[in-house]
Amino acid sequence: MKTVIVVAGTRPEIIKMAPVIRALQRNKIPFTFVHCGQHYDYNMSQQFIEELALPPPDIAFKIKIASPAAQTARIMLNMADLLKKTAPVLVLVEGDTNSVLAAALAANKHGISVGHVEAGLRSFDLRMPEEHNRRLTDHVSEHLFAPTRRAEANLKNENVWGKIYVTGNTVIDAVHQHLPIAKKKSRILEEIRFERFALATAHRAENVDNLLVLKNFMEAFAESPLPIVYPMHPRTKKQLHKSGLYSKVKKSRNIQILPPVGYLDFLVLMKKCELIITDSGGIQEEATAPCIKKPIIVIRLSTERPEAVEAGFATVAGTEKNGILSAIDSALTSRKQLPSESPFGDGKAAEKITEIVKTLF
């Protein structure tokens, strides 16, 4: 029987593929759900699958390898074995992680079509491993599901050989589908000690593995005019302990550190907060969903989501303390009216992608 393989390896991939999986189910298109195991910790993967009421993965790899190269190679080998057994008509991947590149390369080597959800994003910052992953994946994909016209233009400028479709981003679908569930199930606000707060995340290797940048972040959070609620990524916590900064941050009255929170809890925090400070790409998109609609301070040197900046949602503040504080002040004082529509689509991306997948059967 013909089948589609749907690949996810990290929390963001699971979230963004959830609407696609549901659309495949509604349209009765057979698929095999594969979890690549890039995030093998329960809190970083299985928790999200259960929260979103998705079917459990048909196949789950457990990749406990720290090296990015070894991790990518192991996922490729596991995918190669699976592809030999299943011979799918299409392998669907989403985003820019090691799982995405490994699955796409394995499919390409077996002559199997690759569909790349969220194709065409570019930060033009080659220090980011994700930039390499997304570019390489785009160039081996036969079906490129671009979230925006800008992403489409990026692909055309690189002369990709696959067919390009502008679908919107499934992350907007996911927010619309899951926020009502989150409001019913989440109790996270009972734990928050501030009535008004900014929500912060920081996890990227080029940020948290750089002691100077990490110190800038923590000092900016401590001095922010709006208290900070900070669900802390394990990688960040490890680096703070290693540098001796953790106890100082923990004692700050202006910062409330939370353990990693589930997706539904995070949606509720985004809905409640006044401002989002992040180095995450996906959160820059989620914050633009009409049901969230929050200003975003991007604590990076660049963004592969310039549409959020151009639409007025996001400000790229860099990684210096003063730049971050200045951006927070500006966002709080201007209180500008944000657009009523997201630049990343109308929440129907998964249906558009599924209609295209149908033609392969």
205 in Cβ contact with 300 (< 8 Å): no
Query: Of residues 132, 143, 203, 241, which has the active-site annotation?
Result: 203
Exposure class string for 30-69: b at 16+ Cβ within 10 A, else e: ebbbbbbbbbbeeebbbbbbebbebeebebebebeeeeee
User: Is 110 among the catalytic positions?
Assistant: no
208 in Cβ contact with 235 (< 8 Å): yes
The DSSP output letter for 48 is: H
The DSSP output letter for 128 is: S
Strands 59-60 and 31-35: parallel
Exposed/middle/buried for 104, CB within 10 Å: 0-12, 13-18, 19+?
buried
The Cα–Cα gap between 293 and 313 comes to: 8
Alpha helices in the chain (DSSP H): 11-26, 46-51, 68-86, 98-109, 129-140, 149-157, 170-185, 205-208, 211-223, 234-243, 246-251, 263-272, 281-286, 306-310, 321-334, 349-358
Sorted by sequence, the CB contacts under 8 Å of residue 103 that are 6+ apart come out as 5, 7, 9, 34, 36, 75, 76, 79, 91, 93, 114
Catalytic positions are: 203
